[in-house]
Amino acid sequence: MVTNLTLDNGIRLVTETMPSLRSVSVGVWIASGSRHERPGEAGLAHFLEHMVFKGTETRSAERISLEVDRVGGDLNARTDREMVGYSVRVPDAHFDMAMDLLADMVSHPALAPQAVETERQVIIEEIKRYEDAPEELAADHLIEILWPGNTAGSPITGGLADVVGTTRQGLARFHQSHYRAANTVVSIAGRFDADRARDLAERLLTDLPAGQPDAGGVTPAVAARGAVRCTTRDLEQVHLVLGWGGCGACAQERYAQAMVDGMFGATTSSRLFLRIREERGLVYSVWSEPALLRETGALIVCADSSPGNVPEVLRLILAEARSLAEGRFEADELEVAREQFKGSTALSLESTDSRETRNARGVMYLGRPLAFEEVEGLANAVTRDETEAMASRLFGSGMPCVAAVGPIDEPELRAALEAAAD
C-alpha cells in the first residue's frame, strides 16, 4: 500500500508497506542538486553530501557507520543534478534507528573544520579518479556541451579549483538555504508501521527550517546541436558519447521516448547492438539511455571502439537514427521495445531500495508516485504515430553533440562526424 501526504511541518512523506519482507529502506531526499548552485557555489551540493556522513552534533562519523554496520545495514547517498538522496536499508526491527540516524545526519551536520579539510582531499581524489576513467569523462563532457552555459550541464563534483575554494561557511549557507522542510521528501518502503513512520518523520525532522528553498542557479535549459568536444589521450580505444536533446521527466512524451530508446540501443536486441557489435564486430559495448531533468532531457549513446573504426561507428549510429526519424520500423519492433520497457520496470521494483527511490522521484517530479499499473497503461497507450513523432523530434533536425576521449583529435572527430552525416 502506498500513501503520499504532506506533514504539518511541510515535509512530503511517501510510504509503501511491503509486509512480506524483513527489511525497510528509508530515504531522505533534498530537491536541490548541482543544478541549483549559484555562481561561486559549484560543487557545494556534492561536497555537502560528503560532509553529512562526517558527523553530527551528537554522532561522530565512526558512530554513524557503526550504528548501521552493527545491524547489517547499508548506508548510501548520491548527488544528482536536481536532488540529493540519503538512504539506509536495515532489518525491519531497526526501523526507528534508521529514521533517527538519517534525520540527525540531514538536520545537524557538524561541518567540523578538520573534517572539511579531510573530505576536501577525498573529493579531489574522486575527481582525479573520474579524470582517469575515459567513459565517465566523455559522458561528463557530453553533458557540458549539450547544455552549455547552464548549471544543468555543470559537473556535479565541481572542478578541482571549486573544491579547493570551498569553505565551511559556504557549506553551512548551502545547507541552511536548501535543506528545508518544503524541499524535503521522506520515502520509506518495506516492512514498517505507517503510523509510526509518520510520527517519527514529524518528530525527528522538526529542526529543518520552514520557508521556501533557494531557487539557486536554475534557468531553462535548451539542448545544443552539433557541438563537439575531444580530449586526446593515449589509450587503446576512443570512448564516444553522442547526445540528442529530448523530453524531460515531467513530460508525458517520455514514454514515447522510451519506445524510441528501446528500438535504438537500450537492449542487446536493439539496432545499435545488432548492427555495430553483432553484425560488424566494431565495438565491445554500445548502448543508449535517456537523461531526464525536470523540463528537459536527452537521449544518449555510448560506444567504445578502436580509432580506425570511429568513422564507421559514427556512420552506423547516425544511419539508424535517421531510419527511426523517417519512421522506418516494423510494428513488432515497437512491441518488443514496449514489452521490454514494461518488463524492466517491473523487475526494478523487486527491492525496497528501488521502490523507495522510485517513489521519492515520483513525488519530486510529478507530485506523486506512479503505480506500476499506471506506468504499464501509459506505455501501452503509446501509438506508432507518437513514436514516429518522437523519433523525428529527437533525430530529425540537426546533428547530435559528440564528446570523445582517446587517441583522436578534434579535427579527426569532426571530419568523421561530417562524413557520417552525408
Contacts of 232 (CB under 8 A, 6+ apart): 406, 407, 408, 409
Q: What is the C-alpha separation between 376 and 362, in angstroms, rounded?
A: 15
CA end-to-end span of the chain: 54
Question: For residue 301, which of 258, 241, 229 has the smallest C-alpha distance?
Answer: 241
CA distances from 21 to 74, 91, 256, 381, 382 (A): 16, 9, 34, 33, 34
Q: What percent of the chain has pLDDT over 90?
A: 97
- Do 233 and 197 belong together in one domain? no
Question: What confidence score (pLDDT) does residue 189 get?
Answer: 98
Q: Rounded to whole angstroms, how far apart are CA atoms 50 and 168? A: 13
Q: Are residues 75 and 178 in the same domain?
A: yes
> Residue 309 sits in a domain of what CATH number?
3.30.830.10
The confidence score (pLDDT) of residue 211 equals 87
The structural domain count of the chain equals 2
Residues 241 and 327 in one domain: yes
Could you tell me if 30 and 88 lie in one domain? Answer: yes
CA distance linking residue 289 with residue 267, whole number of Å: 10
Instruction: Indicate if 123 and 245 belong to the same structural domain.
Output: no
Query: Hey, which residues are catalytic here?
Result: 49
Q: What is the mean pLDDT of residues 43-47?
A: 98
Question: pLDDT (tens digit, 9 = 90+) per residue, 225-234?
Answer: 999 999 999 9
Q: How confident is the model at residue 398 (pLDDT cuts 50, 70, 90)?
A: confident
> What's the domain range around 396?
228-421
pLDDT at 5: 97
Q: Is 181 in the same domain as 251? A: no
Task: Confirm whether 412 is domain-assigned.
Answer: yes
Phi, psi dihedral angles at 89 (to 5 degrees): -120, 125
200 lies in the same domain as 334:
no
Looking at the structure, do residues 34 and 88 belong to the same domain, yes or no? yes
Same domain, 412 and 288: yes
Last residue within a domain, chosen from 188, 204, 220:
204
